[in-house]
A = this chain, B = another copy of it.
Amino acid sequence: MSKKIGGRRAPTESDVAKLAGGSQSAVSRAYTKGASIAQKTREKILQAAKELGYQPNLMARSLATNQSNIIALAISNLENPFYANVAQQLSSQLREIGKHILLFTSPSDDETDPMLERALSYQVDALIMTATLASPELALQCKKAGVPIVQINRGSKIAGVSTVWGENHRAGEVAAEHLLKTKHKNFAFVAGSKTSSTSQMRQDGFIEHLAKSGIKNVPIAYGEYSFSGAANAARKLLSAKNRPDAIFCASDYMAFSVLDVAKREFNLNVPNEVSIIGVDDVPEASHSAYDLTTFSQPAGALAKAAIEIVEQMNSESSRRAMHIEVEGQLIIRGSTKA
């Protein structure tokens, strides 16, 4: 209490009411769209509010309405440009509908931040997760509280959790197809983590499509979605007796690392000695330092889909989880030979 240090405390609806000559409820209604209030009264009130520099107290509003216009965003790794991009998109798209983001970053990719349960304390309208998995306990908590969960770019076996993702299986197929068409012989895959369904689906698409052309036993290494992990994976793959001439990576971020290792440590010419394909099409992929061929996963569309789900579930008070797949396409650049 008593934080009204030097300055006077912020004006409230009552203050505005006094100045405008009305009641507190009138002021409240002036700010409520579709409320029963005369146009003239509303104008008088807004004028008075302006004079006082009145700003509605969203905490109080939230308490009264039981919704906060805040959405919790859990993101494991902001340094991965793909997720930074998604966050930026979410932020600007949410702003347009008057909602805000409460940011949670978690230390690990797979663990749910235990702090996340505290997000519910803020009466958030929804929980959007990227690169992190919802734990069953968290999902239960959210279900109890009627807070929808949407996972972006990660699958979930938990009932009631909605998901949004790119065309993961097709990404693998298309990458395989392109590499086959361009006469590659020895294929390899750099996976994310073993628990990532996204990585698994990309892998399945890739492996299955190659199998159709009779190519079996494609080596796989795990990059753990990190830069150093992918570097190790690359070292392992590239030092094998039968060195691959085509590497498909489960993310651009890992592909960058693989590119670095191939060029620098193995002195390989990309794309003549080895071609590399990623997934995501992050902005850096088009920078000429990487110039990476990749299957795109448009951050803007993913964000849009996630928000649609949230809006729909909140408005319909629906319990049914939704699942949306967002289209991508192969972007051919200089990291694969023609």
Contact = CB atoms under 8 A, between A and B. Distances in A.
A263 interface: yes
Interface in A278-306: 283-284, 287-290
Interface in A54-100: 55-60, 62-63, 65-68, 70, 73, 77-79, 81, 84-85, 87-88, 91-92, 95, 100
A38 interface: no
Interface stretch (A116-124, A149-157, A179-187, A244-252): A116-124
A78 B264 CA distance: 29
A256 interface: yes
A159 interface: no
A104 B91 contact: yes
Contact of A3 (B122, B263, B317): B317
Interface in A24-77: 53, 55-60, 62-63, 65-68, 70, 73, 77
A103 B75 CA distance: 13
Contact of A122 (B59, B88, B118, B259): B59
Interface stretch (A139-147, A164-172, A200-208, A215-223): A139-147
Contacts of A81: 79, 81, 84
A253 B92 CA distance: 22
Kindly report how many copies of this chain are found in the complex they form together. Answer: 2
A252 B317 CA distance: 47
A261 B287 CA distance: 10
B121 A105 contact: no
Interface of A: 1, 3-7, 10, 53, 55-60, 62-63, 65-68, 70, 73, 77-79, 81, 84-85, 87-88, 91-92, 95, 100-105, 107, 115, 117-118, 120-123, 141, 143-146, 227, 256-257, 259-261, 263-264, 283-284, 287-290, 317, 319
